[in-house]
Chains A and B, each alone.
Chain A
């Protein structure tokens, strides 16, 4: 009996598991996002300085967290694909990239909509914003590289190397607000001395974050299924071409 992560590497076993998890993840995402949105947009208190503009945070912050988490997942999957050559890790890393790119785009867009009334500008070249923009480009580069080869397998492995190399950007994104004196505020939830944000705002934020995470799992499972089907189509096409 192979150990836990390796036993998942069998596509058939993974598909059985994913079919079972998918409805739960989807329901959880719909429930948490529904409750979280109503709570955040309707019931959470307005900020004493920013007023209702603060509600952008309930979308922006979870999206930004997920943007980094997706990349971390993708880099870890890519590293395990390079080491153990599990096909499933390759499929999952490929499936993760467009989702992460979308989360990054949402974080950038909502951040810029929040920045206009608060900072007076849609965009400033602040270290946090710039490093997240670089993260977005890394996602695009990963997707472009994975699709740039006639041989799918070759593209997957090249993209995996890029994902591992690009992981150096993650600490830069995370700590940019501490290393440089930026306009973007420093971390206020994940801090050694406890969150610097009141419970009336923290709980809807965490609900939204959990909803985003469940949404990610649901979309990831669907996309892995899609990637795996695409790979099967390619293998079958090649086999037929070789037989003909």
Chain B
């Protein structure tokens, strides 16, 4: 188990120190959310209604733009070969790397979401459900995204292709993430929606581990 956490720590450290990748993703998230009031106008009623969707879609995009760095640097400098040779199963290595990806993208996005929601004039009552739905949903994005990132290793124009592959698979998470917040806005319980999101997350763990590891073995052949 210690190999797992060592890998997580290594990836997080690299993401924070290597050109501030983590900060770049967060900056992308904040700037993109800030674009919406310019695009749709500053009307508070309109912004409040679309706030949950805007924050969620932007969180999706922030997870996607950083996927390219999930496995490719390791493939290029050979550390992926070492990972494959290490006693840690490749499935566990995939999960560790996805967890590290979430710690530097999903977690900061979740923590920042109340601020962004307040800027977009979301109802105060919906702030909590939005943060919780992001906290449960973004790990599923990192896991599903990990499959896509592993599949496009070595492909031509891998970055754009990865977006095309994973964004359709993100739709269920997005649907339930936003519907939970909308339920809260309408005064209904958000919990059922968040529980379905949690179910998707639980299903994504083995799916990402096996499919991601199979794709990595393919890339290492």
- Partner-B contacts on A (CB < 8 A): 82, 130-131, 134, 137-138, 140-141, 144-145, 148-150, 154-155, 157-158, 161-162, 164-166, 168-169, 172
Report A244 CB to chain B, min CB distance, Å. Answer: 25
Report A169 CB to chain B, min CB distance, Å. Answer: 7
Task: Please indicate the chain A residues that have their CB under 8 angstroms from the CB of B157 in the complex.
Answer: 148
- Taking CB atoms and an 8 Å cut-off, the chain B residues in 114-166 that contact chain A are 147, 151-152, 154-158, 161, 164-165
Give Cα A84 to B156, complex, Å. Answer: 27
- Pair A149/B155 contact, Cβ less than 8 Å: yes
Give Cα A141 to B221, complex, Å. Answer: 23
Determine which of A138, A140, A158 lies in contact with B151 in the assembled complex, contact meaning CB atoms within 8 Å: A158
Report B214 CB to chain A, min CB distance, Å. Answer: 6
Task: Please indicate the chain A residues that have their CB under 8 angstroms from the CB of B215 in the complex.
Answer: 158, 161
Give Cα A164 to B215, complex, Å. Answer: 12
Report A135 CB to chain B, min CB distance, Å. Answer: 8
- Pair A82/B164 contact, Cβ less than 8 Å: no
- Pair B171/A161 contact, Cβ less than 8 Å: no
- Taking CB atoms and an 8 Å cut-off, the chain B residues in 158-198 that contact chain A are 158, 161, 164-165, 167-169, 171-172
Give Cα A84 to B207, complex, Å. Answer: 20
Q: Is B211 engaged at the interface, CB distance under 8 Å to the other chain?
A: yes
Q: Is B218 engaged at the interface, CB distance under 8 Å to the other chain?
A: yes
Task: Please indicate the chain B residues that have their CB under 8 angstroms from the CB of A150 in the complex.
Answer: 156
Report A79 CB to chain B, min CB distance, Å. Answer: 11
A141-B165, A144-B164 in contact; A165/B155 too (CB < 8 A)? no
Determine which of B154, B168, B203, B214 lies in contact with A141 in the assembled complex, contact meaning CB atoms within 8 Å: B168
Report B205 CB to chain A, min CB distance, Å. Answer: 13
- Pair A161/B154 contact, Cβ less than 8 Å: no
A145-B151, A148-B152, A148-B161 in contact; A137/B168 too (CB < 8 A)? yes
A145-B151, A148-B155, A158-B215 in contact; A165/B169 too (CB < 8 A)? yes
Give Cα A144 to B167, complex, Å. Answer: 14
Give Cα A138 to B171, complex, Å. Answer: 12
What are 9 A-B interface contacts by the 8 Å CB criterion?
A137-B168, A141-B161, A145-B152, A157-B218, A158-B152, A158-B215, A164-B211, A166-B169, A168-B203
A154-B218, A157-B218, A165-B207 in contact; A140/B155 too (CB < 8 A)? no
Residue of B nearest to A130 (CB): B171
- Pair A145/B155 contact, Cβ less than 8 Å: yes
Task: Please indicate the chain B residues that have their CB under 8 angstroms from the CB of A157 in the complex.
Answer: 218
Give Cα A82 to B172, complex, Å. Answer: 26
Determine which of A134, A145, A149, A158 lies in contact with B168 in the assembled complex, contact meaning CB atoms within 8 Å: A134
A82-B214, A161-B211, A165-B207 in contact; A148/B167 too (CB < 8 A)? no
Give Cα A148 to B151, complex, Å. Answer: 11
Task: Please indicate the chain B residues that have their CB under 8 angstroms from the CB of A162 in the complex.
Answer: 147, 151, 165
- Pair B164/A137 contact, Cβ less than 8 Å: yes
Report A121 CB to chain B, min CB distance, Å. Answer: 20
